[in-house]
Amino acid sequence: MAVEHTKLHHYLVSVGSNIEPRKHLAECETILAAETQLLGIADYIDTEPDGFKDQPWFVNGAYYIASPLAHDDFKAYLKAVEERLGRVKGPIKSGPRTMDLDIITVDGHVVHNDYYHKSYVTIPVDQLIGQFALTLNAAG
């Protein structure tokens, strides 16, 4: 993984779980606090499953993280954290999961369109934007 020593990148990351969600979210917070600069955590919200409905409700939120890792390397790091927390990708793309971490913004630039279309992403991300007085630039 390439580490850029001269700059910290700021990420807003959507988080969700519906398999023992409170346990996995707490474990995820512990990992991220130890391995990154976890600057903020949005309030968690309970949300109905999107897509595949025959599964438990999700607990969703967002994290504000600073890291020297560039976007692609940080994305790979988050996927590794998901795996460490027991994520197994099953046959149903929107099926149950122990952990789902998606980068929504990088250095103020929206990089994931779910921010505009999924309230379970928008609500917690907007909470952190307001709390930290962040400015966003549209996807481009």
Evaluate whether residue 136 is within a structural domain: no
Highest mean pLDDT among 3-12, 98-107, 129-138: 98-107
User: What pLDDT does 121 receive?
Assistant: 98
Residue 3 domain-assigned? no
In a domain, 110, yes or no: yes
pTM of the model: 0.93
Q: Long-range contact list for 33-40, CB < 8 A, 24+ apart? A: 36/65, 36/66, 36/67, 37/8, 37/65, 37/66, 37/67, 38/63, 38/64, 38/65, 39/10, 39/64, 39/65, 39/66, 39/132, 40/64, 40/128, 40/131, 40/132
Q: Answer whether residue 113 is part of any domain.
A: yes
Q: For the domain that residue 101 is a member of, what is the CATH number?
A: 3.30.70.560
Domain count along the chain: 1
140 domain-assigned: no
Q: Which domain holds residue 96?
A: 9-131
Is residue 3 over pLDDT 80? no
**Segment 11-16 mean pLDDT:** 98
In the predicted structure, residue 5 carries a pLDDT above the cut 90: no
In a domain, 4, yes or no: no
Asked if residue 48 is part of any domain, the answer here is: yes
Classify residue 35: in a domain, yes or no: yes
23-58 pLDDT, tens per residue? 999 999 999 999 999 999 999 999 999 989 999 999
